[in-house]
Amino acid sequence: MEKKEFIYSDELISDDVADGLPAATPTLSHYDEAGQAHMVDVSAKPATRREATAEAFVELSLAVLEALPNNPKGSPLEVARIAGIQAAKQTATLIPMCHPIALTYVDVELQVVEGGITIEATAATVSGTGVEMEAMVAASIAALTVYDMTKALDKGIRIRQVMLAHKSGGKSGDYNR
């Protein structure tokens, strides 16, 4: 049997190593042939409806959860919701290779649950590029805002599980975690 070699993360690997990798390992699109970072040209892509949802979890102690309604800075959940929406609109200024896109919808929902707060951020557009990063930035900044609003009560707050939960539209199709 002939041994094959693959390129993975700019490294030549053999097929026995590649067995542990996904079957179709995509290439990284934000690098040119010389290995320098660049913005991908999406001008030839058709403008289609694209949507993405990201999630985050802020782990809070029971004492912090009980104190949420009485926070002297205001409602941490409402401030975090607005911060997440604002952040989604600033993604291209925060992440160098992201395209500035016209968002048609952003929503951030926060819910108090046992052990903390769940965050779900959704972004949508009609564009030639996706909105995964906008949703991820919204969830991340909402989580950081919860931390900022409650850190006086506990410095041990943890932000966990920031992840893409769903995306639809575009060339790569739908994705569901």
**In whole angstroms, what separates CA 163 from the centre of its chain?**
6
- Three-class secondary structure assignment of 104-163: EEEEEEEEEECCEEEEEEEEEEEECCCCHHHHHHHHHHHHHHHHHHHCCCCCCCEEEEEE
Instruction: Judge whether 154 counts as a catalytic residue.
Output: no
Rounded Cα distance between 107 and 120, Å, is 8
Grouping H, G, I as helix, E, B as strand and the rest as coil, residue 17 is helix
- Rg, the chain, Cα only: 20
Per the residue annotation, which of 16, 19, 107, 148 is the catalytic one?
148
Residue type, 68: L
Given a contact cutoff of 8 angstroms between Cβ atoms, the answer to whether 47 and 35 are in contact is: no
Residue positions annotated with a catalytic role: 148
